[in-house]
Structures are given as C-alpha cells and as structure tokens.
C-alpha cells in the first residue's frame, strides 16, 4: 500500500476537524432525528427529538430566542416572558440607561416590580417558528445552460422569489440561508418582538468580574447574566412599545434545575452561533495569519488606547464609551488568541494534509478530476489576488474608520434624508426619527475623543494601504490643510452640523439638501464610502470564483466520505451542540478542574483594580457562607466547563441537561482553543458557563429580588 493511499485512509478515519466527533458540531435541530439523536441518548439525553424541535407542539426551540437578529442568544424562563442572557449581551443597554447619578454598570439594576422595568431602545427578540429544507426549490433548474447569468445570480433570484411566496403565505419574517457553502438551503420563519425591557443586571463586579484580563480565560468567576422581559400587545402578537403592552405569554419556557452538575454529565446548548469557517483551506489560514488578524489587532488596539485615556478622565466618559471599549477589547483579544492557537495547534498543517489527500482522491477518477480537479488551484489563485490587491485589507480599514469615528457614521446615516430633501418628500417621520436618535447619540459623544480617533485612523490608513484606496478626502486634506489631519479635524468639528446636539437640532429645524450635502462630515463619510465600494467591487471580481470553488470543495469532501455527518458552518441560525461537563489540561504540568467556586472570587478580590473589585455586600455574603439551596456541601458553585461547540452569537445561550432543564448560561470560550471557528479541537475546546445556582444566588441573596424566582418553574416541583 503506497504512502498516498495511507494518507487518504488516515484522513477518512480522523476527519481533521471537518467531520463530527461526539462533542463537535453545530447541528440544525430539524435534523436531529436523522443525524444525532441516538448518540445524544446514549450520552444521557432523556428527551425525544419532538421535545427539542417541533412545529406541532411546544418544545425547547420555542424558548430559545435570537437577540437583535442573532447578535446574542437568550432563553425564556417564565410564563411572563422573563428572559435570561449574558450581562455582556445587555451591556450596551445597561450602559445606555446609566448616568453618573444612576450608574447601573457599577451598581447594578433591579426592578422590584414590573412598572420599574426599563425599556431598551432598539432591542429585539426573535422566535423561530419553523425551519425547512428548501434545497430542491432553490436549485431546481439552476444548471439551465440557456441562462447565461452566473450561478450566484440565478440562486439569488430564486431565493428572492421564494421569500416573497413564503412571506405571503405565513405572514412571518422569512430568511433563506445557504448551508454547506451553497450545497443546501434552508428556510426560516421568525416572529420578532421589539418591546423588550431591562429587569435586572448585577453590578459589573459580578457580571463583568475579571474584565478584559479574564476574558477568554479559565478559571473564571464571572456572573455573566442579566434578565430582560419580552412584552406583546394584548393579543399576544408583536407590538410597538406601549404602556398598554403586557408580558409575553410564551409557547414554552425552560424549567430550572438546582441539582447541579458533575464531571461527565451530558448537556446541550441551543442558540444562534454567528459565524464559523470550518471548511477554510490552508490558503485561508495563511491569509488570516498574515493579513486579516494583524490588521484587526492594529486598528482595534489603536482605538482602545485612545478610548481608555478618555474613559479614565471621568465617570461620564467611562459610561459613554464603556460599550464601545468592551466590544473592541473582546474582538481584539479574540484575534490575538486565535492567531496563537492556529500556530500552536498547527491548523495549517492539518488543512494542508487534508487538501493533499483530497487532491489524490480526485485524481483517482476522471469524472472527479473533471468536476473537482481545479478547486484547490482556484482557491490558491484567489488568495494570491487578495493578497496582491489588498482589497480586503482596505475593506477592514474602511469599516474601522467609517464605523469607528462616530461623527462619520452619524453623518453617513443621513444619506436617506438627503434623498428625501432632494426629492421633496414629506420629512415628518424622518425628522422625528433623527431627533430621537440624536438624543441617544449626543449623550455618548465626546468631540475630543472622536477627533483623536479620526486622526489616528487616517494616519494608519495612509501608512498601510496603497493610494488606489485613498478617499478623495485625502487630496482635500493635502491641498487645503497642508496635509495635516489635525487641522482638517479641527475645522470639521468646528463647522459640521453633526458636531453638537445644538448644531444638529438647528439643522433639523431648517433642513436643506445644500446644507447637508456640503457639510464636511457628510462629505468625509461619503468619500470613505466611495472607497469602500471600490474595495468591494475589486473583491467581487474574484468572489464568484471563490464561492464556486468553496461549494465544490465541500461537495467533494462529502462525496469523498459518505459515512460521515457533515454539519454547516454557523450563520446566525438556530443550532444545537451537545457534549459533557469536562475539565482539560492546556499545557505541560497544567491541569484545570471543571468548575470554580465562590472561594475564587474572594481570592481574586482587588479593591484597587476595577476589573477585580468585588462588591462589599457580595464579600459579606460569601464570607458568611449562607448559600442556602444554591450551595453544595458548603460551597457555592460559580462557573463550569463543557465540551460544547459554540462561537460568537451563542453568548447567552442556555445550557440544558438531559431532561431539558436549565442548568447554566454559556458566556465564553477558552483562549487555548481560539482557533475553534476554523477547527474544533477535541482535547482543548471548552465552553465556559455560569452555573444557574450562582445566578439565582445573586438574584435572591444579593439583589433581594427573590420575587422573580416565584415566576420560575423548578424541576421536581
């Protein structure tokens, strides 16, 4: 037997992260009965597939919600629409409701009755009604040779047509999503509620304990949770915010277990993971390590340094920029740790070996060679083009500049208003909208910080990109401002209608197209937008080739190994992952236990460090050791580890035991396995969960909001 054939057999046996082990996979719940149910039941599941996902009866999926159309996940835990998610998922809302006088980020917030719950502007909660395989409907006739348009264009037309049909029939929001890189398609029906209110949030000394230092790390002692409530109209349907609305009566809500966990216990997570790239090639690994991650780290670090300086100046600025800083820090650290993990775990080598065996398998058949023979070469060529033209690098810079400089993003958002002014449309609704948005924007806007970020972004842009992606604005800065970004920024913030609440209100009182289109911030925003479009158009030149190669590569992998269950990459649709409670050994002589306790909170306490400052009341409670029904043999469990396969978007997902009961809330992954969006590592990948008993201890004993526990249904009662 030759070495090449041995390599193929080895790949088929191991899968190199592309095919599922017991703990790996983000599975579509509608397919559990076909693919996973036997394995799950052998591991400890006591439920039937219909109790997890059904369109004919209330089930677990009816309690799992997408926050903001997939930014985070939450779960319904009472018959009155009470919802639990992560503190960091509610962080922006908590910060938005905070003032120097009422600092809910520092002190926490608890509504002691429903009338005290705080509306959250812009927050949405979406329930999945059903999911359906529509592959045959989407791809029927798609290979028609008489249609000379691209395959992607034909698919897009079919999807648009199907969406309209399904929307008319169902009356729900419809999404049709590609799975397995265009080899299958699923339709999703959603019902979205936008009257969502803040019920309770622990202080940051609980909900963000450990701060950015502990982020992505284990051991962890963070009570990363908050409570929201979903409201409906009197008819139980979505309604605009109103005092007449009532707490939602859901189809299903999760019962809560106080039994706790031990190592080896079965558990599962349902949620809305955002994005993975498990079928990324070795060429993609190189590009991520050499281009994408370094760019992301550089730009986010630069903005973080500036924000931190201003946040340290006053509590008002700390609150204004807390959410922005947390977002930047989270993804900056993720990129850093991802690069480290990709190198340490030799993911490139694994991918390369898989590709070599795939190419060898392809070469063994003329039919396969005809269909798949050029796939990897096409991939390689695309990545060479991307590296050479720097279009995707430019796109990152443009996004970080246009969205990272607040005044530019604010100005960009008024483009539709300009169209209405030019067309002579009625402006009543638009002006009311912008007045409402302005009240929120200017409350968290600081000219000096924004100006400094603008100048830093402009400088980095020039230093790291070819001039073909320079916005026309740079020519203006060179000619009229002696090539000084600082002089330009001073003039912009002095003259722009977007620079202050007063100037913007004056414009809204007498809006004209001439005033808006000639505004320096509006001109700057649209200059960057034009460059962004150029970068996008450049990428479109090879995107079709890349997409087709990706589709064929995945199709070939599935044909190569027909005995394996392949799962689609995450794309913010409902998924289920299952595994067990388990410790891990991340390095030589390092062994981590599977759970942490309140003892570790007191050990980490540092009053001089905001990240590790434990609230005084909590210290008193923990030292007293009166944990009641939330304790176990004299200790209070805080967090534990599982082998679940999750990613961003799963934040706030419920951790559910084999009986379908809530035992924890997922909130993080571990740094040693930060390559997990690309490859699941069976030895290292862990999900960090906050034990529901610690959550309830905080609600009951710390916050004194035990009345909320009366809404819950406890297992065995």
pTM (whole model) above 0.85:
yes
Sign, Cα dihedral of 602, 102, 407, 454: negative
SS (H, E, C) 494-512: HHCCCCCHHHHHHHHHCCC
Domain parsing of the chain, residue ranges: 8-124+194-272+574-583+596-711, 282-556
Q: Flag whether pLDDT at 238 surpasses 60.
A: yes
545, 548, 552, 554: CA torsion to nearest 10: 110
Q: Flag whether pLDDT at 96 surpasses 50.
A: yes
| Mean pLDDT confidence for 214-223 | 97
Please state, for a pLDDT cut of 70, what percent of the chain lies above it. Answer: 96
Q: What is the pLDDT of residues 487-508, one digit of tens each?
A: 999 999 999 999 999 999 999 9
Give one DSSP letter per residue of 282-313, joined into a string.
Answer: HHHHHHIIIIIHHHHHHHHHHHHHHHHHHHTT
| Mean pLDDT confidence for 702-709 | 95
Residue 146's pLDDT is 66
CB 184 within 8 A of CB 566: no
3-state secondary structure at position 513: helix
Residues 209, 252: Cα–Cα separation, whole Å: 32
CATH fold of 8-124+194-272+574-583+596-711:
Thrombin, subunit H (2.40.10)
Q: Flag whether pLDDT at 631 surpasses 50.
A: yes
| Mean pLDDT confidence for 667-695 | 96
| Mean pLDDT confidence for 411-416 | 95
Residues 6+ apart with CB under 8 A from 92: 323
Residue 148's pLDDT is 62
Cα 486 → chain centroid: 35
Q: Which residue pairs, CB below 8 angstroms and at least 24 apart, start in 203-207?
A: 203/105, 203/106, 203/107, 203/108, 203/615, 204/87, 204/105, 204/106, 204/610, 205/106, 205/613, 205/614, 205/615, 205/618, 206/87, 206/108, 206/615, 206/618, 206/698, 206/702, 207/87, 207/88, 207/108
What percent of the chain is helix, strand and coil (3-state, nearest 5)? 50, 15, 35
Confidence of residue 145 (pLDDT cuts 50, 70, 90): low
- H/E stretch holding 376: helix 375-389
3-state secondary structure at position 174: strand
518, 519, 521, 527: CA torsion to nearest 10: 0
Q: Which residues are catalytic?
A: 88, 224, 651
Cis peptide before 219 (omega within 30 of 0): yes
Q: What is the pLDDT of residues 438-485, one digit of tens each?
A: 998 998 899 999 999 999 999 999 999 999 999 999 999 999 999 999
Residues 638, 691: Cα–Cα separation, whole Å: 5
Residue 528's pLDDT is 95
């Amino acid at each position: 037997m030759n070495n090449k054939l041995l390599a193929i057999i080895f790949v088929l046996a191991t899968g190199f992260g592309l095919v599922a082990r017991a703990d790996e996979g983000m599975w579509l719940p509608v397919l559990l009965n076909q693919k996973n149910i036997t394995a799950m039941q052998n591991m400890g599941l006591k439920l039937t597939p219909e109790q997890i996902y059904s369109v004919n009866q209330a089930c677990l999926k009816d309690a799992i919600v997408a926050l903001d159309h997939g930014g985070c996940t939450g779960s319904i835990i009472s018959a009155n629409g009470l919802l639990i998610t992560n503190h960091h998922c509610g962080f922006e809302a908590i910060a938005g409701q905070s003032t120097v006088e009422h600092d809910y980020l520092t002190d926490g917030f608890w509504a002691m009755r429903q009338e005290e719950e705080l509306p959250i502007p812009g927050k949405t909660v979406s329930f999945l009604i059903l999911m359906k395989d529509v592959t045959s409907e989407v791809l029927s006739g798609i290979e028609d040779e008489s249609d000379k348009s691209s395959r992607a264009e034909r698919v897009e037309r079919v999807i648009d047509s199907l969406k309209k049909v399904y929307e008319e029939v169902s009356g729900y929001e419809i999404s049709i999503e590609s799975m397995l890189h265009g080899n299958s398609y699923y339709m999703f029906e959603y019902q979205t509620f936008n009257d969502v209110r803040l019920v309770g949030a622990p202080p940051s000394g609980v909900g963000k304990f450990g701060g950015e230092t502990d982020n992505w790390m284990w051991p962890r002692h963070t009570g990363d949770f908050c409570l929201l409530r979903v409201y409906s109209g009197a008819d139980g349907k979505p309604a605009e915010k109103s005092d007449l609305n009532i707490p939602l009566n859901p189809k299903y809500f999760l019962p809560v277990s106080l039994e706790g966990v031990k190592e080896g216990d079965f558990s599962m997570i349902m949620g809305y993971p955002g994005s993975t790239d498990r079928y990324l090639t070795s060429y993609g690994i190189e590009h991520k390590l050499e281009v994408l991650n370094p760019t992301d780290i550089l730009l986010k670090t630069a903005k973080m340094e500036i924000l931190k300086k201003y946040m340290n100046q006053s509590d008002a600025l700390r609150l204004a920029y807390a959410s922005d800083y947390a977002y930047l820090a989270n993804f900056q650290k993720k990129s850093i740790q991802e690069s480290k993990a990709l190198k340490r775990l030799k993911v490139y080598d694994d991918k390369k070996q898989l590709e070599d065996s795939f190419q060898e398998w392809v070469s063994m058949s003329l039919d396969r060679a005809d269909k798949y023979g050029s796939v990897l070469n096409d991939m390689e060529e695309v990545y060479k083009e991307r590296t050479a033209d720097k279009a995707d690098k430019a796109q990152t810079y443009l996004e970080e500049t246009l969205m990272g400089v607040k005044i530019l993003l604010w100005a960009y958002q008024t483009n539709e208003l300009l169209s209405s002014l030019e067309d002579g449309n009625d402006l009543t609704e638009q002006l009311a909208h912008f007045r409402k948005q302005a009240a929120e924007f200017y409350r968290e806007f600081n000219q000096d910080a924004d100006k400094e970020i603008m100048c830093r972004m402009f400088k980095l842009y020039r230093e790291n990109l070819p001039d073909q992606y320079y916005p026309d604005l740079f020519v203006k800065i060179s000619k009229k401002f002696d090539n000084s970004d600082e002089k330009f920024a001073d003039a912009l913030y002095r003259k722009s209608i977007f620079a202050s609440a007063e100037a913007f209100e004056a414009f809204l009182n007498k809006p004209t197209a001439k005033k808006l289109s000639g505004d320096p911030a509006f001109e700057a925003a649209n200059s960057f937008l034009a460059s962004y479009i150029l970068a996008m158009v450049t990428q479109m030149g090879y995107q079709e080739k890349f997409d087709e190669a990706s589709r064929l590569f995945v199709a070939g992998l599935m044909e190569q190994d027909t005995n394996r269950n392949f799962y689609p990459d995450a794309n913010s649709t409902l998924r289920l992952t299952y595994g067990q409670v388990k410790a891990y050994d991340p390095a030589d002589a390092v062994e981590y236990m599977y759970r942490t306790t309140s003892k570790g909170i007191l050990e980490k306490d540092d009053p001089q460090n905001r990240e590790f400052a434990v609230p005084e009341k909590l210290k008193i409670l923990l030292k007293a050791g009166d944990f009641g029904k939330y304790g176990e043999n004299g200790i209070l469990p805080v967090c534990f580890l599982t082998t679940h396969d999750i990613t961003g978007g799963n934040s706030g997902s419920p951790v559910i035991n084999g009986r379908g009961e809530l035992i924890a809330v997922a909130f993080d992954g571990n740094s040693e396995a930060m390559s997990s969006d690309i490859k699941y590592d069976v030895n290292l990948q862990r999900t960090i969960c906050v034990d529901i008993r610690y959550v309830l201890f905080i609600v009951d004993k710390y916050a004194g909001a035990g009345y909320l526990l009366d809404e819950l249904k406890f297992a065995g009662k």
